[in-house]
Amino acid sequence: MHVFVTGATGWVGASVVQDLIAAGHRVTGLARCEEKGAALAATGAKVIPGTLDDLEILHNAASAADAVIHTAFNHDFSRFAENAQQDRRAIETLGDALRGSDRPLLVTSGLFGLTRGASELEVVSPASPRKSEAAARDLAERGVRVATVRLAPSVHGLGDHGFVPILIRLARESGVSAYPGDGSHCWSGVHRQDAARVYRLALEQGVTQSVYHAVADEAVPFKDIAQAIGRGLGLPVESRKREHFGWFAHMAGANMAVSSEYTRALLGWTPSGPGLLDDLALPGYYHAD
């Protein structure tokens, strides 16, 4: 299968590319700079220079592929609404290129806005700031074979630069590894290599469902995450009010913990990487931020 991957040099996308190539698939990846393009080419993938704003490039690359995986997203949180609209335009462009064919598209979203313990059947709240899943549903209504891979808030592993490193930086700056309230709310976690395998298995099995959950640790109490960070940095672990977390408060205080039972059974997916707390026990994790 020839797969076009956006975000092919990113944290998740790079692992998706490696997993696809190891399984014998051909990959074309989008890269926004020459340096990252060179690293992508070294994996054996074909490189297309461009960004999510290059809609003609996206359309042409999707038209030439057997399947498309969209992992790219601009994580500049100071302009999240703009980035969400950019993401939606890219998804609509990729879908338009595939419409009228049976070629599948997988897009990426998160767990924010879902109830604790939600299954793959639960629809994300319309108030969710990220619009990828809504865009996918619109494409499905227009006959595109499309599904959403919902990623855990912590897609972890050495080199992680996602949400947990934000907490690590905050702990370093404030001198305390904090949790809001009593810390009983939970996050899900998944190792990046396990997450990558969900995308591949979904493609290989024909994208038969509308949503997949790339979730290994289904519910890790936030207080446990804070305690692991405290041990790693040698800092006290204490409850703090919402204001302590600044712009990240809405994420730090959210329940983002769902079930992946259906995805596991459907795809035959058994996560094999280390769990989130196991990764946070590694000294090297504290050099990744």
Ordered per-residue pLDDT tens for the chain, 289 residues: 999 999 999 999 999 999 999 999 999 999 988 888 999 999 999 999 999 999 999 999 999 999 999 999 987 777 888 999 999 999 999 999 999 999 999 999 999 989 999 999 999 876 677 889 999 999 999 999 999 999 999 999 999 989 999 999 999 999 999 999 999 999 999 999 999 999 999 999 999 999 999 999 999 999 999 999 999 999 999 999 999 999 999 999 999 999 999 999 999 999 999 999 999 999 988 974 4
Read out DSSP for 110-158? --TTPPTTB-TTSPPPTT-S--HHHHHHHHHHTT--EEEEEEPSEEEST
CATH number, span 2-152+192-214: 3.40.50.720
Per-residue confidence (pLDDT) for residue 127, from 0 to 100: 64
CATH fold, domain 155-189+218-287, is UDP-galactose 4-epimerase; domain 1 (3.90.25)
The predicted structure's pLDDT at residue 248: 95
Q: How many CB atoms lie within 10 A of CB 182?
A: 10
Q: Where does CATH 3.90.25 sit in the chain?
A: 155-189+218-287
What residues have CB less than 8 Å from 73, skipping those under 6 apart? 7, 83, 87, 108, 130, 132
DSSP E strands, the chain:
2-6, 26-31, 46-49, 67-70, 105-109, 146-151, 154-156, 177-180, 186-191, 211-214, 217-221, 237-240
The answer to whether 157 and 273 have CB atoms below 8 angstroms apart is yes
**Position 136, amino acid:** A
- Sheet of 146-151: strand order equals 46-49, 26-31, 2-6, 67-70, 105-109, 146-151, 211-214
**CATH 3.40.50.720 residue spans of the chain:** 2-152+192-214
Question: According to the model, what pLDDT value does residue 80 have?
Answer: 81
In degrees and rounded to multiples of 5, residue 74 shows phi and psi of -85, 115
